[in-house]
Amino acid sequence: MAAGSRRVIAGVSGSLRSLGALRAAAAEARSAGTPLLAVLAWAPAGGEIAYLRAPCPLLLRLWEQEACERLRDAFDQAFGGLPSGVGVRQLVVRASPGPALVELAGHRDDLLVVGYGGRSRLGYAVHGCVTRYCLAHARCPVLAVPQ
């Protein structure tokens, strides 16, 4: 991989955990002089299977708009807007968060930054653990930032 091709990828959901990860990712990107890719992965309410049973394009557009707003709000909450001194790219994808982040952070030189902690047992049962998935499957270093 060519010099200067390293990226910092941050998983963002809007939670307190992800805001800490976003701040840490911006600091890492700024200090390394690399771009920051902030990723918010989303799925339709009830999951993909529920959506396939009763598809509604209007709802799908609304959910995607809400995901875009959540990503913008995360930057507003973490920095009061876009952070200075670092190039930022925002990406909203319709996918499961763990696999989407691992796929996007596909180069060994990348750094994947995710939040962890603070979720109840029910939260783990319902949403799974994105951090654990990333740590187990990523091909690059993963920085897990506590809440």
| pLDDT tens for each residue of 49-95 | 888 888 889 999 999 999 999 999 999 999 999 999 999 999 999 99
Query: What CA–CA distance (Å, rounded) separates 9 from 35?
Result: 9
Beta-strand pair 36-42/142-146: unpaired
Question: Which position has the higher pLDDT, 3 or 71?
Answer: 71
Does the reported pTM lie above 0.85?
A: yes
Query: Hey, what's the torsion of the CAs at 132, 135, 138, 139, to 10 degrees?
Result: -170
The share of the chain scoring above pLDDT 70, in percent, equals 89
